[in-house]
Structure 1
C-alpha cells in the first residue's frame, strides 16, 4: 500500500479581501473545508505503518516524489496550524 499526500500550503492564497458578507462567508466555508481535509491527511499519516511509503505531489504538477513520513507529517501540521490561524482571523 502506498499513501500519496498533497499538503495544501496555499491557505493564504484563498484569502481575498472582499467587502460583501457573502463573499467572506464563502471564503470561510472553503477554508473550513480545507481544514477538515488537512485533518484527514494528518490522521492518515499518523496511522501509517512504519514500512509504508509516502509520496508528495509537487505544486502545480502531476509529479510525485518519495518523501520522509516525519517531514511530511510536520509540513502538514504547519499547514493545518496556518489554516486554523487564518480561519480564526476571519
Structure 2
C-alpha cells in the first residue's frame, strides 16, 4: 500500500512541477504579447531560429498571431491538467 502512496506522491509532484513550468511560460508569453502589441508600426521584429543563435526578420502581425496561438495552447494545456 505504501508503494501506491509513493507513486501518487511522485505523480503529483511531477504534475505540480509541470503546472509551475506552464505558468512560467504563460507569464512569459503574456509579456511577449504585450511588447509586440505596443510596438510602433514601423519597428522591425526578428524571430530566433530554433536551436540556433540566428535571428530572421519577421512580419509583426504574423508574429503576434503566432504568439497568441501559443498562449492559447498553453492555457488549454494547463486547463486539461
Q: Equivalent of 1:79, from 56, 67, 70?
A: 70
**Consecutive unaligned residues in structure 1, runs of 5 or more:** 1-18
Question: Deviations 1:15-68 (Å, cap 9, x if unpaired)?
Answer: xxxx61011000000000000000000000000001111000011111100000
Structure with higher strand content: 1
Structure with higher helix content: 2
Which position in structure 2 is the counterpart of 1:54?
A: 45
RMSD (Å), alpha carbons: 0.8
**Consecutive unaligned residues in structure 2, runs of 5 or more:** 1-9
Which structure has the higher relative contact order (CA within 8 Å, separation 6+)? 1
TM-score normalized with structure 1 length:
0.78
User: Larger radius of gyration, structure 1 or 2?
Assistant: 2
- For residue 76 of structure 1, report the CA deviation from its aligned partner: 0.4
Runs of 4+ with >6 A deviation: none
TM-score normalized with structure 2 length:
0.86
Kindly tell me the number of residue pairs found equivalent between the two proteins: 72
